[in-house]
Amino acid sequence: MLEAIRRHLCSEETVMRCSVFILRPPEASSRELLQSRLHSNVTVAWGPDLPDPAEYDILVAGRPAREHLTASRSLKTLIIPWAGLPQTTRRLLDEFPRIAVHNLHHNARPVAELAMGLLLAAAKSILPLDRALRGADWTPRYDSKRALLLRGREALILGYGAIGHQVAQLCQAFGMKVLATRRRASEPGCSGGVGIFDGSRETLHRLLPRADVLFVCLPHTGETKGWIAAQELALLPSHAILVNVGRGAIVDEDALYRALQTKKLLAAGLDVWYTYPRDEDERADTPPATRPFHELENVVMSPHRGGLCAETEELRMAALAEMLNSAARGEPMPNSVDLGTGY
């Protein structure tokens, strides 16, 4: 007990003043939640207008403009309040090498849960069976091949980061064996029952024939674009299911469509796409791809909402508060982004 008190007092003594500017303020309830979790030495200014004076150490923004990066001479850190690094932000940050960049990974669990939802819907043919029964058609019930047992199957997760870790845990809960690749795997081996491998293409080609389920959890970078193309899809077993919660461009659109259309791939669950609405007016009439995936019965489609749930903002504020408090204590901030690799 005395040691715990001593550590607490020491930590209080080392807390530094930390000024934060949040470019896009959340709703009032989320602001209050954030403030309630912050150390008193952390002060927050809310956008969208620059504070006067513009003296902030940390900027919270996904797509800052140049003026947001130059207004404060004390700016040292940019926090992107989600996972990923927009290409426009990446290009702008090349001019500001002194600014450290960090992500928030509050969405890891919701995305992983949606990934499993897509897998289950695809593996059990839930949507086609639902449509048939809505039309009073019971005949699909008697086709046992319309459902795949997941227990004992092997899942291959591409991208063993925050989301990949959560997907692995959920797969293990279903009794699946889990393999995963990661770019920064210093020592391939086994961790928590997950087989960890390097992210090279040679290793990928060796693992794909083993994958009953392929989860794509990679970020979109110049290197990962088209990472899964016709050659890679052909290496998967014909009963394999592909689930993409990373970015659409990581899987070649034409190759994926052909593999699903010709049943060389059993099914797919997709939360990320190839075209998106450019503005609010286009939201009600924008096909998610140039290929007609919507015509395929073996595709489960989700409009890129894996990170959204009723608790999203609560999770975001909690993760942001934890990161800002770490900065105030002088501790290393988690989820550092390497501008060279894009994640």
User: Residue 185: pLDDT band by 50, 70, 90 thresholds?
Assistant: low
Decide which of 1.10.760.10, 3.40.50.720, 3.40.50.2300, 3.40.50.620 is the CATH code for 108-301: 3.40.50.720
| Residue 22: predicted pLDDT | 98
Q: What is the mean pLDDT of residues 92-105?
A: 96
Amino acid letter for position 237? P
- The CA distance from 220 to 342, in Å, is 8
pLDDT digits (tens, 9 = 90+) for 234-253: 999 999 999 999 999 999 99
Q: Which value, to the nearest 10 degrees, does the dihedral of the CA atoms of residues 319, 324, 326, 327 take?
A: 150
- Domains 2-106+311-328 and 108-301 equal at CATH topology level: yes
Weakest mean pLDDT among 4-8, 103-107, 212-216: 4-8
pTM over 0.85: yes
Q: Where are the alpha helices (DSSP H) in 39-107?
A: 66-70, 87-93
Tokens 């096909």 sit on residue? 287
Longest dimension (CA), the chain: 70
Give me the chain's average pLDDT, please. 93
Judged against a pLDDT cut of 90, whether residue 212 lies above it is answered with yes
| Residue 201: predicted pLDDT | 95
- The CA distance from 115 to 105, in Å, is 16
| Residue 6: predicted pLDDT | 43
% of the chain surpassing 90 pLDDT: 88
Is domain 2-106+311-328 classified as CATH 3.40.605.10?
A: no
In the chain, where the domains are located = 2-106+311-328, 108-301
User: Residue 32: pLDDT band by 50, 70, 90 thresholds?
Assistant: very high
| Residue 11: predicted pLDDT | 47
| Residue 62: predicted pLDDT | 97
User: Residue 5: pLDDT band by 50, 70, 90 thresholds?
Assistant: very low
pLDDT digits (tens, 9 = 90+) for 283-307: 999 999 999 999 999 999 999 999 9
